[in-house]
Amino acid sequence: MRKKLIGFRCRRMLHFEPRKYMKSSYHPIWKGVNTDHSSCQTSRFRLESWSMEFFVFTLLPEIFPPYLESSILQRARQRGLIDVQVHNIRDWTTDRHHVTDDEPYGGGGGMVLKPEPLFSAVEGILGPQLDCPIILLTPQGRVLTQDVAAELTGHPRLALICGRYEGVDERVCEHLITDEISIGDYVLTGGELPALIVIDAVTRLLPGALGDPDGAQDDSHASGLLEYPHYTRPAEYRGWQVPEVLLSGDHARIARWRREQSLKRTLERRPDMLESAQLSENDRKFIDLLKNDKTT
Ligand code: 9D3
């Protein structure tokens, strides 16, 4: 079932052909990508897995391939779990100088991303029906969390719009965008890294993306607690010992130690997370013990 989109609004239908002067699909990563966008329908299931298509709209397409060609995202693309198309908004300008920004009405500093190239790009690539979430990466969006990432896996296609300059024309937000996402309370120079972060967080949740069938299940952020400390060989390094319990082979004791370490860390570093975490009776007792230790 498709989830209902939040804030989905009516839109004008416009269709322009992209300019040919500089295809952003120059890079080998985009070779073989279906460029017949009129028939861009993906089935929900491929090899018994979710598959997703990401359509990125940016003024800096060259940022994307290096990350998408690495490690887990590369493998997910090769396995057909995801397909990422990166489109240069500038390809959809129709003026001589390929202008994408302009001064704000009412004055003030900075430049604003013009509406026409963005509408043309998104409608030209996705087709006139625009039946997927069209997400603007912006400091004013709702903050990306594990829950938001999980929610986004429910859509077979996602459009990600990366802002630059001071912002985008508000008519884009009102009539094209269906969702606005921020990655946190700090100031970046644009939405490109946030878009990659959305792709990364969403992709690793797709079945099979991590190799391990229930890989993402074990995540600390899925359980609502921070992770316990990890150790590997050697058992002693510069005189620093790996905790004895981890060498004991006693799996029940190890599991209890790890759980307690998770609880201790979460209490110390992210007490806010304890409020929504799933805690057992024993977990609560242990937390009370830790709190009492501190006060005595
Ligand atoms: C100095 C201009 N800012 C006024 C307070 C507005 C502003 C506009 C555009 C600040 C940063 C940006 C560029 N950032 C993003 O496009 C962005 C972002 C971010 O900066 N932080 C967290 N998440 C995101 S998602 C997109």
The arithmetic mean of pLDDT across residues 202-226, rounded, is 79
pLDDT at 201 over 50: yes
Report yes or no on 45 lying in a domain: yes
pLDDT at 129 over 50: yes
DSSP symbol at 32: T
Is residue 61 very low, low, confident or very high in pLDDT (cuts 50, 70, 90)? very high
Rg value, the chain, Cα:
23
The arithmetic mean of pLDDT across residues 50-60, rounded, is 96
Amino acid identity at 91: D
Is residue 45 very low, low, confident or very high in pLDDT (cuts 50, 70, 90)? very low
Together in a domain, 57 and 116: yes
Burial (Cβ within 10 Å: 0-12, 13-18, ≥19) of residue 236: exposed
The larger pLDDT score, comparing residue 21 to residue 44, is at 44
Q: Is the CB of 58 under 6 A from ligand 1?
A: no
Looking at 181, 204, 227, the residue that finishes a domain is 204
Instruction: Give the span between the Cα atoms of 185 and 250, in whole angstroms.
Output: 43
Instruction: Give the span between the Cα atoms of 163 and 192, in whole angstroms.
Output: 8
Together in a domain, 88 and 195: yes
Q: What is the DSSP string of 226-276?
A: PPPP---S-SEETTEEPPHHHHS--HHHHHHHHHHHHHHHHHHH-HHHHTT
CA-closest residue to ligand 1 atom 13:
190
Instruction: Give the span between the Cα atoms of 59 and 77, in whole angstroms.
Output: 23
| Cis peptide, bond prior to residue 28, ω within 30 of zero | no
The arithmetic mean of pLDDT across residues 30-57, rounded, is 52
Together in a domain, 162 and 283: no
Catalytic residue among 83, 169, 179, 204: 204
* pLDDT confidence of residue 142: 98
* pLDDT confidence of residue 295: 84
Together in a domain, 60 and 102: yes
**pLDDT of 228-256, one tens digit each?**
999 999 999 999 999 999 999 999 999 99
Please give the distance, rounded to the nearest whole angstrom, from the Cα atom of residue 188 to the centre of ligand 1.
Answer: 5
Which of 89, 187, 193, 197 is the pocket-test mutation for ligand 1 (most atoms within 8 Å of CB)?
187
Report yes or no on 80 lying in a domain: yes
Together in a domain, 36 and 180: yes
Together in a domain, 194 and 267: no
Report yes or no on 196 lying in a domain: yes
Q: Name the residue among 166, 239, 152 with its Cα closest to residue 200.
A: 152
The arithmetic mean of pLDDT across residues 89-106, rounded, is 98
Looking at 160, 185, 204, the residue that finishes a domain is 204
Report yes or no on 212 lying in a domain: no
pLDDT at 20 over 80: no
Together in a domain, 26 and 128: yes
Question: For the chain, how far is it from start to end, CA to CA, in angstroms?
Answer: 54
Q: Is the CB of 191 under 6 A from ligand 1?
A: yes
Question: Can you give the CATH number for the domain in which 266 is found?
Answer: 1.10.1270.20
Report yes or no on 192 lying in a domain: yes
CA-closest residue to ligand 1 atom 10:
187
Residues 6+ apart with CB under 8 A from 147: none
Is residue 291 very low, low, confident or very high in pLDDT (cuts 50, 70, 90)? very high
Range of 285's domain?
236-295
Is residue 138 very low, low, confident or very high in pLDDT (cuts 50, 70, 90)? very high
Is residue 160 very low, low, confident or very high in pLDDT (cuts 50, 70, 90)? very high
pLDDT at 21 over 50: no
Instruction: Give the span between the Cα atoms of 182 and 143, in whole angstroms.
Output: 5
Q: Is the CB of 113 under 6 A from ligand 1?
A: no
Give how many domains the chain has, as a whole number.
2
The answer to which of 16-25, 101-110, 286-295 has the lowest mean pLDDT is: 16-25
Catalytic residue among 104, 115, 139, 156: 139
Report yes or no on 259 lying in a domain: yes
Q: Is the CB of 224 under 6 A from ligand 1?
A: no
Residue located via tokens 């996602």: 158
Question: Can you give the CATH number for the domain in which 69 is found?
Answer: 3.40.1280.10
* Chain-centre distance for alpha carbon 212: 20
Task: Determine contact, residues 37/127, Cβ cutoff 8 Å.
Answer: yes
Report yes or no on 222 lying in a domain: no
